[in-house]
Structures are given as C-alpha cells and as structure tokens.
Homo-oligomer: A and B are copies of this chain.
Amino acid sequence: MTLTNAQWRLAARPSGLPKAADWQYTEEPAAEAGDGQIRVAVQYLSLDPAMRSWMNPGRSYVPPVGIGEVMRAGGIAEVIDSRHRGFEVGQTVFGTFGVQAYAVSDGTGVSVVDTALAPAPVYLNTLGTGGLTAYFGLLEVGRPEAGQTVVVSAAAGSVGSITGQLAKIHGCRVVGIAGGAEKCRVLVEELGFDAAVDYKAGELRAQLREQAPDGIDVFFDNVGGEILEAVLSRLARGARIVLSGAVSQYNTADAPRGPANYMQLLVNRASMTGFVFTDYANRFPEATKALAGWLADGSLVSREHLLDGGIGAFPEALLKLFAGENTGKLILAL
C-alpha cells in the first residue's frame, strides 16, 4: 500500500510569530516500516507553546528542529503496520511523531494508550505532557500547602487549567490569570478555581491584590513578562515561583526581558525554580495513576480544544495557540 505523506517542515527560523515563509509543506510517499519498526497514521497533533522555542537556534532543554526537518510535535496515532514485537496494528499510541500524516518509529518514546479509559485527545493533555508538567511542577517544585494561595498564569491553557485544579485538590486557594472574560468564567464556573484575573481587563496588580490579599505562596508561571512582574510584587514570605514557561517572550522579536523586580525574591525570601517534567520520567506511572484517579472521580476536568482542518491547517492552528484563542489544550485533528 503506497500512502502519500504530508508534512510541515521548518523552512526558516522565525523572528517573532512564525510566518508562512517559515514553513515548507511537502508531500512524498510515506516510508514503510522496516524490521523492528511500526508505521502509524497520526490522528491528533499536540499544539504546544514550547514548539516556538524548538524553532529557535541554540541550546534549550531539547535540541532545536533543524532547517528542512519535519517540525517536532507530539501526537496520538493509530498503528497501521507493525514489524515490532511490542505493537499491534490497530493500537492507539502516543509519540513524538512530528507534524505529518504518517510516521515510522522504532518504538522509542512510543506508548500504547487505553482509549477505553479516556478519549484519545486526553492523552495529549491531562494524561500526557500537560498533566505531567502540572503534577511535578506544582507538587515537587511549588510544594503548596493546604490553605496557601496558588496563582497560575495561562490558566485556561492545558498546563494551567490542570495545575489550578491540582492545587484545589490539595486544599489551596487558587487564582487563575487568563485573557478575557469567557476564559475567566470557565476557570471559576467549570474548573472550580476560587477566582480568576483577566489580564486583558487591566489593573493586573490591583486585581491580584484583591484576589490574593495575604500574598501569593506559589506562582506557577507559563507566561513571564508583565504577569511575572505583577506577581513578584505580591509574593508572600517564602514564596515559590515555578518556571514552567514564558510564552509572552517566545514570539517577541525584541530582546527578551527579565523581571525588573526580581529582587522581590530577596525581600520575600522567595525562590524561582525552573524544571522540565521529563526529569521525573521514572515517576510518570505514579503521576498518571493519580491523574487518572482524579479524572475518574470527577475532581479533575480535562478540557481539550479540538481544531478541525487536517494537516494543512497546522501553521494557522499554531498561531491560534499564541493568540491565546484556546480554552483547554489545543489539539489539531487530522
């Protein structure tokens, strides 16, 4: 069976938001599975803020995507050919298959997912990277205690929406920062946050003062920039800032900027700590089991934002992510 693969490749390193000219769309015969390999048909593509950093040159926590290479992406796929003893045709799998319709893999980093337990897209969100990031970042780095105030930025996104709910499960007062009244409504009414702060409504510091009157004990930051500065000005003594991302900085063509008031860390005996969830790989089973349990008992709601349009819509879908148009995890259905 000769299949035609469709792929988005990185054509140039973007300055600011990725433009059409930064991408190259290619079609070619799909490779066949060799001995010890599987071939998969990608069903769902994960759209992640980190993708922007993979497009930059230079050192990050993973190597950059090379010019001309298929763009890196996590996805859910169906096994359509298997010459690998660990996989069977028809299985649904998660892996970093890239932005393409078909992929061949030797199984490294590929895991079978149980679509009887949760719908496939949930494995790109709460039972995937988003959930693991929230779980280890909040619980291991943020270390919230019951009764403390936890603030989350990009709270309506995948990681943010899960982090806030995990903090509620651990007995905290949870304030989400998001852009727009509708997202804020979802945070409070559908995801159980105690309060939401709409940064687009202005007066961010005043809103934070009102919602975190005793200061902020844990800040889980996905955004950076002015939001990080506003939170630094409201820290409680001994606060922990968890650096999970800095989406406000990823697409700026200007020089990135650091938090001007970072010495509030000294005043408040506070810390700012970066982490990468893959460092906790040996504990993924523990985390996945806990997250699945909270999903099952209803204390955790997994929210996905599915886009149609197929592979051709990828560049546009990624821009929706950076425009903050999603509520919940943004996923492109192929």
Contact = CB atoms under 8 A, between A and B. Distances in A.
A274 B271 contact: yes
A279 B269 CA distance: 9
A323 to B, nearest CB: 21
A255 B263 contact: no
Interface residues of A, number: 33
A24 interface: no
Given A224-B263, A258-B262, 11 more contacts: A243-B266, A246-B266, A249-B263, A256-B260, A256-B261, A257-B257, A258-B261, A259-B262, A264-B274, A269-B275, A271-B273
A274 B267 contact: yes
A279 to B, nearest CB: 6
B266 A276 contact: yes
Identical copies of this chain, number: 2
- Interface on chain A toward B: helix, strand, loop, or mixed SS? loop
Nearest to A267: B61
B268 A274 contact: yes
A110 to B, nearest CB: 25
B268 A270 contact: no
A265 interface: yes
B255 A260 contact: yes
A289 to B, nearest CB: 24
A60 B276 contact: no
Given A224-B263, A256-B260, A270 B270 contact: no
